[in-house]
Amino acid sequence: MPSREEEAINQARQKALGFNIILVTGGSGYIGSHTVLELLVAGYAVVVIDNLSNSHWESLVRVHWIVQQDFTKRGRSPGEVPPLFFHEVDITDREAMQGVFETWKTDEPAATERKPLIKFAEEKILKKEKKIVKSVPKDIGALAVKQHFKCQEFSASSTQSQLPAERPTKIKVNDVIHFAALKSVGESVSQPLNYYRTNVGGLINLLELMKQYNVKNIVFSSSAVVYGKGKETNIREDSVQVGGGGSGGGLLTNPYGRSKWMDEEILNDTSVSDPEMQVIALRYFNPTGSHPSGLIGEDPRGTPNNIIPVVMQAFQRRRSKVYVYGSNYDTPDGTGVRDYIHVLDLARGHLAALRKLTPIKAAKDAAPPPPEDDLTSPISPTFARRLSKASVSSKSSIRGTSFSVQRTNYRCYNLGTGTGHSVLDILKAFSNVCGNDIPFVLSDARTGDLGTVTADVSKASSELGWYAEFGLQDMCRDVYQWAVDNPQGYERLRRLSMMAQVDPDAVRQIMETVEEEDEDGEAATDTGSARSSADFGNFIRRLSVMTIDDSKYKNVMRKASVAVPHLGNLLEEEEEDEENESSQGSRNGSFSWNTPFKNDQGQQLPSNPPFNTSSNLKSPFAEKWGFGGNLQPKSQVQNAH
């Protein structure tokens, strides 16, 4: 009789049967979760790996729920949504990673009997081999199916499902999208070894396991940071040298940038060594925005690395002000200019890249075998030896055969809009959306920051058929909705979930008391013992709903602090403030929410930004996704095509 773990694995595999399965590392993070959403809409089954160091598994539950609503809008049954599974695993943990690959590998035929003659030394080694423990996946779809979230109205995604004509008959991970990485420039300077261990070592673990389990396609999450200093406007992909191709990048000023560049070199080398290996690296510029439902968005743990989450937190009063680093750049208003891209555009860029990956092995199998001594054959050992000695310039020739070292099965693309916006542009756009100015101070530029960074996205447009659809106002409108609907991001659910794991019965009783006291709420339902696995799943779902109701959440926390003293350390609010980060060189001085504040133009800013969700906001983004209200025509996004 199979164990409970084996039964869970078998059930998960059966649910995935008939779907192309995509493995997504870092899939519960900001960009990862939006990409998982697009993959599900497109008809892929998804397996997510994440260690939750800078993300929340709740995002995946919300993702699956959103796709269920999307299918309903299309006239399809929510039960048709492809399965979504989650493994809480760190990519640097080779043993745990192998357990995931073992869970999702193709069923092997029965092993043939070993030959009777075997050396004693080999027998001892075999006996010492450690058994691979399969990783038990969490079925996110099962958690989401009974969920009831409050969300904004949104239109069905424009992504089209492209299921294969013949559904797969084997269970196997076919492709990998690799997001999992550390990504703070400042932190990488103080913790370089941690960044190289995670970003470089983690990728090597992944590639070795892909080779072992015969997975040949990977889309890699790279960054515009690989271009370094000296490359600023309309940056082309060949502005950095990878695999001997390109003109050579600028000076990489931090370990994070170097780790991403090293990763691309490793991926290129791997693809050269294996003609069947397909690699696409996507170099992001500045992702922002969120899903129009308001259910998923960017909620980094700790200090955000990007400007728009900082602006959002200032609006939410999770920080007192926005620090604008640098006001003397050679830009129209003196502040830094960046190429911002909506996260949904970015997610669809990954889908376009995934569809671009061609099964080289299938094409090779269909072709007649080359002569044994054919030096032009990529599978000829002689060809491989001569290739290794050949020049690594963009094109070389062996007996009349022209080839490109970097462009055979390794490709890279910029993902941006091609249009730059300054920090003050961001502040103005967000202020226009929320109806109030955002307090800020101008501070000294940070070492290594550039004045302008924008992308040339013509290659992605011509080869992937991809382009950005959303403009800056759309991005800010969407971030605003996420900020209003989730004033603490996923943080409230994280705190309640931690409390529930420490003392689930106590928290359940408190919740039911709060629900009974709520005159407008529904009567509390008995969930039985919160300690059983099935009831605990329902319990967590009720917690997630409660986080949206501000009064209920505060009531639960207040009662818990009294009734369960040992949970007190989980009730402390984490404050995001940069008061001590940049006090020197601040042109406008300090500011608190109870003090009048003026910007450089002498305009007085409000001391208490409102949380008014019923404001008559005008946004082209609202029209596209079906929001109500007085809307303007859809704006056009300029692209450098």
Alpha-carbon separation of residue 125 from 99, 102, 120 (angstroms): 21, 21, 9
Number of Cβ within 10 Å of residue 123's Cβ equals: 11
Comparing C-alpha atoms, which of 450, 379, 463 is closest to residue 415? Answer: 463
Whether 165 and 43 have beta carbons less than 8 Å apart is answered as: no
Alpha-carbon separation of residue 601 from 64, 425, 609 (angstroms): 46, 15, 19
Burial of 593 (0-12, 13-18, 19+ CB in 10 A): middle
Whether 596 and 607 have beta carbons less than 8 Å apart is answered as: yes
Confirm whether 196 is a catalytic residue: no
Burial of 534 (0-12, 13-18, 19+ CB in 10 A): exposed
CA distance 429 to 529: 49
Comparing C-alpha atoms, which of 493, 461, 439 is closest to residue 605? Answer: 439
Comparing C-alpha atoms, which of 208, 139, 217 is closest to residue 178? Answer: 217
Whether 452 and 425 have beta carbons less than 8 Å apart is answered as: no
List the catalytic residue out of 195, 256, 284, 410: 256
Alpha-carbon separation of residue 203 from 140, 249, 600 (angstroms): 25, 22, 46
What would you report as the CA-atom Rg of the chain, rounded to the nearest whole angstrom?
A: 26
Comparing C-alpha atoms, which of 611, 289, 591 is closest to residue 434? Answer: 611
Comparing C-alpha atoms, which of 214, 140, 222 is closest to residue 177? Answer: 222
CA distance 28 to 21: 17
- Four-point Cα dihedral 87, 93, 94, 99, nearest 10: -30
Query: Phi/psi of residue 505, each to 5°?
Result: -65, -40
CA distance 204 to 94: 10
Q: Write out the E strands in 129-240.
A: 138-139, 173-178, 217-223
Whether 441 and 321 have beta carbons less than 8 Å apart is answered as: yes
Query: Phi/psi of residue 256, each to 5°?
Result: -60, -50
CA distance 422 to 452: 9
Active site residues: 256
